[in-house]
């Protein structure tokens, strides 16, 4: 969440069987997966003894874990065009005494969103212009710890002391504990993390001293490595500003780019997005979306940006849906949009993001007992949690999280009781109660 000052300063400164026929440039496991760099070979599924059955479906809701995100404090979060809620969290709210963690603030956040049928995009931060630093109180009293006070965005702001070894130890331990408790919690969709102002990987305005007000690149490297170890299920994201060598460790440690993290862009759709922002996205790789979700927030550089970012005709010569496809976006924070755009437009924009499944063909074995379907991801990104096609309550073996945009595969489901009238669904265990389920498009007519 940045001002015009930041924009100017940055410019001055990247049992069941499944056969799969995936048509993308890389296999379902990614470029280094078992299928090799060119993906699996095209193979036809055997439909001998099967007949095409009718199947119809449509996508009428914003899909889970995608779309325009509203702050959890917004009165608009109860609307059905929202699937995700965003919140900053404070380290100091969870820990005040060494090695004592009180997760009740996190529980309240997650429970509140789940009660509305939503999931959370969460970001812990230390520094916010105009506020004291959210370092635990016991660390502020630690021998040798010295916070830095300075101006940021014209407001008195406190910055942490990253020279303090206890702060470094706490930070690593905090994320270990967070992962132990929430790594596979269906209430949590995505975890954003970082350092500096708003944890957005910069101190564009204020006292920037590497190793003191901003952590050293060696410590950042250690942190990124353990994040890859701690979080096995929850997708985690860094700001694209981490591509800037002023702050990020990637130039010195390019091996970090192999970690399965996503990126977020907190000035999406800004006027000069094709410059610094685009270059930062490019640094992390055009295929980053295959291993981690891509998200962000609409630009706050000007009131004009917030007012027009979702205009159907676009702004600055770019249309939102085109940018979504270009960057393979899964979500974008747009808390001001209910006051700028109609609900129908917000829903339409949300539905252009993330995954989108289509069942293109559907066959049932003569006499029953098995179904085969050709399913495609016609969205702009994969789904980042395991999901499966089910027929009559039995799931196929193929995990749809492996299905990249533009790919398709044949999925076979075997179970007694399957016939042409059996219900077909897409099931995902990472959903909360009362959340709209995963929908699919289908318009298959039975053969006479």
The DSSP element (H or E) to which 360 belongs, if any, is: strand 357-365
Residue 68 belongs to domain with CATH number? 3.20.20.80
Take residue 178 and report the two structure tokens written for it.
């967070």
Residues 294, 209 within the same domain? yes
9 part of a folded domain: no
Q: How far apart are CA 205 and CA 5, in angstroms?
A: 8
Q: Over the chain, what is the mean pLDDT?
A: 91
Percent above pLDDT 70 for the chain: 90
- DSSP designation for 395: E
pLDDT of 280-331, one tens digit each?
Answer: 999 999 999 999 999 999 999 999 999 999 999 999 999 999 999 999 999 9
From 301, 322, 350, give the residue that closes a domain.
350
12 part of a folded domain: no
105 part of a folded domain: yes
Report the alpha-carbon angle 74-79-83, nearest 5. 85
Residues 420, 321 within the same domain? no
Q: How far apart are CA 42 and CA 222, in angstroms?
A: 41
- Give residue 320's pLDDT: 98
Q: Is the pLDDT of residue 78 over 70?
A: yes
pLDDT of 116-175, one tens digit each?
Answer: 999 999 999 999 999 999 999 999 999 999 999 999 999 999 999 999 999 999 999 999
pLDDT of 346-389, one tens digit each?
Answer: 999 999 999 999 999 999 999 999 999 999 999 999 999 999 99
Q: What is the pTM of this model?
A: 0.90
324 part of a folded domain: yes
Residues 201, 76 within the same domain? yes
Position 16 confidence tier, pLDDT thresholds 50, 70, 90: very low
Q: How far apart are CA 143 and CA 161, in angstroms?
A: 12
Position 447 confidence tier, pLDDT thresholds 50, 70, 90: confident
27 part of a folded domain: yes
> Going along 102-216, which residue ranges are E strands?
119-125, 148-152, 155-159, 188-192
74 part of a folded domain: yes
CA-nearest of 412, 352, 331 to 66 is: 331
From 303, 323, 350, give the residue that closes a domain.
350
From 295, 317, 350, give the residue that closes a domain.
350
Residues 262, 408 within the same domain? no
- Give residue 72's pLDDT: 95
> Going along 114-231, which residue ranges are E strands?
119-125, 148-152, 155-159, 188-192
Residues 395, 334 within the same domain? no
Domain span at 186: 64-350
Residue 351 phi/psi, 5° resolution? -75, -5
CA distances from 163 to 42, 144, 211, 216, 219 (A): 55, 9, 6, 9, 10
Q: For residues 295-308, b (16+ Cβ closer than 10 Å) or e, as one string? A: bbbbbbbeeebbeb
Residues 379, 327 within the same domain? no
pLDDT of 102-120, one tens digit each?
Answer: 999 999 999 999 999 999 9
CA distances from 239 to 87, 176, 324 (A): 16, 21, 17
132 part of a folded domain: yes
Residues 28, 143 within the same domain? no
Residues 324, 382 within the same domain? no
Residues 43, 144 within the same domain? no
CA distances from 21 to 30, 39, 45, 289 (A): 14, 9, 9, 21
Q: Is the pLDDT of residue 256 over 50?
A: yes
Q: How far apart are CA 445 and CA 289, in angstroms?
A: 34
- Give residue 43's pLDDT: 56
How many domains does one find in the chain? 2
Residues 382, 440 within the same domain? yes
The predicted model gives 248-272 an average pLDDT of 97
Take residue 240 and report the two structure tokens written for it.
């694209």
288 part of a folded domain: yes
Residues 164, 273 within the same domain? yes
Residues 378, 284 within the same domain? no
């Amino acid at each position: 969440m940045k001002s015009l000052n930041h924009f100017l300063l940055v410019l001055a400164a990247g049992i069941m069987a499944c056969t799969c026929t995936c048509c993308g440039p890389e296999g379902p496991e990614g470029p280094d997966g078992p299928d090799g760099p060119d993906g699996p070979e095209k193979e036809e599924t055997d439909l001998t003894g099967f007949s095409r059955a009718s199947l119809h479906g449509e996508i009428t809701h914003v899909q889970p874990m995608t779309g325009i995100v509203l702050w959890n404090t917004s009165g608009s979060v109860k609307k059905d065009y929202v699937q995700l809620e965003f919140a900053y969290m404070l380290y100091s709210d969870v820990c005040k005494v060494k090695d004592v963690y009180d997760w009740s603030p996190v529980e309240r956040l997650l429970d509140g969103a789940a009660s509305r049928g939503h999931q959370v995009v969460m970001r812990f931060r230390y520094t916010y212009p105009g506020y004291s630093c959210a370092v635990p109180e016991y660390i502020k009293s630690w021998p040798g710890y010295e916070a830095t006070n300075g101006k940021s965005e014209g407001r008195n702001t406190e910055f942490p002391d990253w020279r303090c070894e206890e702060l470094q130890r706490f930070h690593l331990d905090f994320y270990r504990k967070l992962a132990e408790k929430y790594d596979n919690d269906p209430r949590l969709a995505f975890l954003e993390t970082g350092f500096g102002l708003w944890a957005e990987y910069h101190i564009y305005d204020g006292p920037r001293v590497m190793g003191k007000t901003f952590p050293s690149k060696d410590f950042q490297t250690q942190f990124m490595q353990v994040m890859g170890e701690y979080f096995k299920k929850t997708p985690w994201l860094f700001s694209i500003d981490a591509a800037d060598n002023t702050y990020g460790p990637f130039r010195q440690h390019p091996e970090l780019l192999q970690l399965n993290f996503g990126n977020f862009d907190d000035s999406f759709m800004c006027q000069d997005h094709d410059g610094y922002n685009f270059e930062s996205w490019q640094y992390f790789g055009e295929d980053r979306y295959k291993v981690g979700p891509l998200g962000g927030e609409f630009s706050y550089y000007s009131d004009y940006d917030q007012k027009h970012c979702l205009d159907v005709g676009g702004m600055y010569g770019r249309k939102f849906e085109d940018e979504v496809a270009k960057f393979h976006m899964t979500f974008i924070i747009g808390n001001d949009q209910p006051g700028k755009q109609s609900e129908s437009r917000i829903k339409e924009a949300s539905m252009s993001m993330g995954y989108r499944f289509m069942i293109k063909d559907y066959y049932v074995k003569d006499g029953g007992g098995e179904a085969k379907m050709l399913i495609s991801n016609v969205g702009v990104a994969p789904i980042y949690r395991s999901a499966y096609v089910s027929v009559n309550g039995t799931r196929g073996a193929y995990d749809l999280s492996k299905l990249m945009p533009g790919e398709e595969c044949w999925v076979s489901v075997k179970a007694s009781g399957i016939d042409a009238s059996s219900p077909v669904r897409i099931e995902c265990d990472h959903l909360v109660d009362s959340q709209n389920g995963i929908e699919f498009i289908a318009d298959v007519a039975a053969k006479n």
